[in-house]
Structure 1
Amino acid sequence: MRNLSRLLTLSLFSLPMWVHGTEQTTVGRAGQDVAVVRVSQQLAHSRAHVADLQKGVARQESISREASLKLQQKDNAIAELERQLRALKAGQKAPRDGD
């Protein structure tokens, strides 16, 4: 009987600590759950931002390739015109038949 009394007394004194510990665990888990959700949302936002940036980079690369191609075409046209001009100048310097 004396042991039972001690056990009940000990149980009554430890009950508030156990309940308080359970509340902290529940609150801690709820806080962790909120943190996990928040981090997941931030991760999703960051991934979407990265995808947008990748699309932007792809667009800029495409524009750059097109501009490079146009520049190459213009360089080729200039080179051809220079070749024609040299040929004309060379033809003018050559003595003409009948002059």
Structure 2
Amino acid sequence: MLELLISQLTDPFRIGLVVFLLVTAIRTRAATGLWAPLAVGILFVAVLIPLTTGAAAAPDNATRLTAMAVGVLANAMLLAVLLAGWFGWQKARR
């Protein structure tokens, strides 16, 4: 399980999707808010990647569901780091 989390945390495709999820949420926060799009985006990326990569070829649903559940955790961790950096940047600019 830890190996799966580490591999997801270091996946450049996942990191890129989460970075651009944050950029999009920041740009559209006046119309949509910030937290709801981020939450939905975390779930979307967590489901999208296992369904389009090697986990989709898994013979059982348990492997896919595990990859998705760990993906939610990995996405939340990546987003937390990015949000901390963004909020720190905003505070330093003031």
Per the normalisation by structure 2, the TM-score is 0.36
User: TM-score, structure 1 length as denominator?
Assistant: 0.34
Greater RCO structure (CA 8 Å; 6+ sep): 2
